[in-house]
Amino acid sequence: MPFVKGDILLPSTLVAKKDWLKGLHHPAVVWDEIFDGSTDFTGIMLTHTPPTKRFTNVLMAANHFQNGYKVVFSKTHFVNQRFIKFYDWGPFELVGKLTIEGIAFIDAHLSQNSPSIEFLEYRNSMIA
């Protein structure tokens, strides 16, 4: 099943937080125009963690999420960083969708100066 920009994914089998290098622990928003499920993709991490001194997590709003899915607004922030998500962390399932307003909001607030990074690079910067 192809996924498109704004789709919110989780793997069919969640990983524990302690195993977050082996898969997705937080929901990921597909940030490529299309993701076919068989390649790595660019994603945006969703979290409930407010901004930290290292990362500017941005608070979203209820109108940024479509209703009727498992993942909807719940004091949700996006991590202001594009990530390379690995296809072999899947298979993935659709657990939510951003609205047009949600995609536009992230586009407007997402740091354009930072390239997509692998999750290991992000994790290492968190513990450095």
Is pLDDT of 112 > 70?
yes
CA angle 114, 35, 32 (to 5 degrees): 30
Please check the confidence at residue 122 and state whether its pLDDT lies above 90: no
| Residue 39 dihedral angles phi and psi, to the nearest 5° | -140, 165
Stronger pLDDT, 111 or 126, i.e. the higher one: 111
The answer to whether 22 touches 120, Cβ cutoff 8 Å, is no
- Token pair listed for 43: 């994603």
Whether the per-residue pLDDT at 62 is higher than 60: the answer is: yes
pTM: 0.86
| Overall fold of domain 3-127 | SH3 type barrels. (2.30.30)
Once rounded to an integer, what is the mean pLDDT over residues 57-77? Answer: 97
